[in-house]
Amino acid sequence: MRILFVTPELAPWSKAGGLGDATVALGKALAAKGHEVRAVTPLYGSVPGREKMGTLIESLKVGVHGDPRKAGCRVRTLTVSPKFEAWFVEHEDFYGAREIYPPRDDAGERAAFYGRAALDACLTTSWIPDIVHCHDWTAGLVPVLLNTTLKHTALGAAKSVISIHNLQHQGLYPKRIMAYLGLPEFLWSPQELECLGGVNFLKGGILHAGKVITVSPTYAQEILTPAFGYGLDDVVRRRAGALRGILNGVDRDEWNPADDKHIAKAFSAQQPAGKAECKTALLRELGLATDRSVPLVGVVSRLWEQKGLDLAVGVLPKFLREGKLQFVLLGSGDTWLENEFKRLATDFPQLCAVRIGYDNGLSHRIEAGADFFLMPSRFEPCGLNQMYSMAYGTLPIVRATGGLADTVTGWDGKKKGTGIVFEHADQGGIEWALRRALELYQQPAAYQALQQTAMSAEFSWAKSAEAHLECYLA
Ligand code: ADP
Ligand code: GLC
């Protein structure tokens, strides 16, 4: 099959969160099964290695109706893996800046443009996909275009799929987007794209794609309800018959403690000894005390409401004051929360380290060196870090929601489980979970048994790709 991805993130070229990891890993896994994969994505100013890229189309005229001087782009290309090419849409005005999601007045046009460019690039090169797989809101109007404006082109027979990686971000932009993309007027209705006086990109994708995928079975159930639907649960319910939950996986090329250039010492389930060295090296790197026999709890995360870390920051001082654990956080997001965590590090200099910013190497060292990894998310469509943690023998402490519920098995008090699972998204829930983690850490035989189970859990992208293929063909 020929499979086209339309995605705003493709790691390592662009990544704001797990979406970049997911699209590149799924693309590789599909290509490894013999399919031809192309991923169209913007060439942001921050994309590295453009000198190694080739040119697929020097000058592509894109079918949008705005300022004609801004309707053209170049399409650059490089090979990601055998049979998998990335196509980068180069348009200085839209994507020349470094940010992936900058707040701009023309953010709607900016998203719509590369979606339409993806389809025009296929038509121009006569590379006609069987499947057009759109990822998240920026690509949401692509299935709409395929069903309307482009229905009578060579692309009209392609099946479309949308993956919801996060229903909270929907892309709500002014009505003028309809004219910009040349969409027919009947789509301007509350039954269609209209939403709160604007065009809702993700709503369009959910209504028009042939299949709707989300990234875990539990999240697929959750988004049918108002509590998780962010106002679109009725729209998701309309498509319930086309909805599938398919788990993400772990890309072992990137996340493998036996072969990871970022960490102090290699280790594996069979030879776990190196993990202790990784912990000591990490504590040193962070300037924390190395002489405590308490667990190190790690976090790598965007600091947004979704992640529930505002709840954790209220609970941690109690544990740190008692000297019961050490804590490291790497992340960025809401300024007030960044400041709260910085204050925690100032208050407990031997026990707590906080790094604000983005640092891929350090994220690997935290996964390798921590004893537990905390993810108290209010909602979590899939979550990748809990799976990376398990691969590194770092037991996840997670709230039972979305993909966290689907991938982590709570400790049974004996030797079974792969982590600590708690129910309530409140401070009491997190405190309970941390106390339980401490209790587990006091029992080395149980802790090591869980580590072994966690490290041998298989979260494979090959399996995920298989499920995607089944869904494409159903
Ligand atoms: P989300 O996509 O909602 O942020 P995921 O768990 O799916 O959550 O994926 C997050 C990804 O982003 C992981 O690969 C994680 O390591 C990475 N990440 C998040 N924050 C940082 C950071 N500050 N530095 C390095 N990597 C980060
Ligand atoms: C989103 C979700 C996260 C998921 C990722 C990749 O960013 O918040 O839970 O793992 O997409 O699918």
pLDDT tens digits along 273-317: 999 999 999 999 999 999 999 999 999 999 999 999 999 999 999
Q: What single-letter amino acid sits at 56?
A: L
**Residue identifier of the C-alpha nearest atom 14 of ligand 1:** 18
The token pair at 127 is: 């590379």
- Residue 440 CB contacts under 8 Å (≥ 6 apart), including other chains: 395, 411, 420, 446, 447, 450
C-beta 250 within 6 A of ligand 2: no
Residue 297: per-residue pLDDT: 98
Distance 380 CA to ligand 2 centre (A): 7
| Ligand number nearest to the C-alpha of 251 | 1
C-beta 383 within 6 A of ligand 2: yes
Beta bridge partner(s), residue 353 = 328
Quote the mean pLDDT of the chain: 98
C-beta 385 within 6 A of ligand 1: yes
- Residue 433 CB contacts under 8 Å (≥ 6 apart), including other chains: 376, 397, 420, 421, 422
Q: Which residues of the chain register pLDDT less than 70?
A: none
If one residue of 19, 247, 301, 375 were mutated to test the ligand 1 pocket, choosing by the most ligand atoms within 8 A of its CB, it would be 301
C-beta 268 within 6 A of ligand 1: no
Q: What single-letter amino acid sits at 323?
A: G
C-beta 380 within 6 A of ligand 2: yes
What is this structure's pTM?
A: 0.97
CA 405 – CA 411 distance, rounded (Å)? 13
Distance 394 CA to ligand 1 centre (A): 16
| CB of 53 closer than 8 Å to CB of 76 | yes
* Fold category of 274-455 in CATH: Rossmann fold (3.40.50)
C-beta 218 within 6 A of ligand 1: no
Residues of the chain with CATH 3.40.50.2000: 2-249+462-473, 274-455
Residue 163: per-residue pLDDT: 98
**Residue identifier of the C-alpha nearest atom 22 of ligand 1:** 358
| Ligand number nearest to the C-alpha of 222 | 2
Residue 442: per-residue pLDDT: 97
pLDDT tens per residue across span 73-116: 999 999 999 999 999 999 999 999 999 999 999 999 999 999 99
Class of domain 2-249+462-473: alpha beta
Strands across the sheet with 243-245, in order?
A: 54-61, 72-81, 84-90, 36-42, 2-6, 131-135, 159-164, 211-214, 243-245
**Residue identifier of the C-alpha nearest atom 11 of ligand 2:** 165
